[in-house]
Amino acid sequence: MAAPKHPVEQPVFRSLMLTSLFLGVVFVCAAQSSANRNFLYGVTLVAALFFAIFVVSFGLYWLAWVLREHELWREGRQGEEE
């Protein structure tokens, strides 16, 4: 049985990040072309939510990548010390 993939290696995490960025941009563009004030506030709120999801998921992805690289470095160092 294969070991489970690290979160950095799973495409779902990257697709969540890229999809939320794309939807945030789409909603910002929709807000730019809106003349209705109530619609503008709602679309801006949704765009901010998607950008927040992107920022959080990007931060988690970056942290997972750094921790994975550190663990690979430690495993390489253990082989040198023995």
- Residues 7-34: tens digit of each pLDDT: 777 888 889 999 999 999 998 888 887 7
Say what angle helices 37-81 and 11-32 make with each other, to 10 degrees.
150
Half-sphere CA count of 50, side-chain side, radius 13 A:
18
Half-sphere CA count of 56, side-chain side, radius 13 A:
8
Tokens encoding 8:
């950095």
The structure's pTM equals 0.76
pLDDT at 38 over 90: no
Give the 3-state secondary structure of residue 9: helix
Backbone conformation region of residue 41, classed left if phi is above 0, alpha if psi is from -120 to 50, else beta = alpha
pLDDT interval class at 52 (50, 70, 90)? very high
Residue type at position 80: E
Report the alpha-carbon distance of residue 6 to residue 3 in Å, rounded. 9
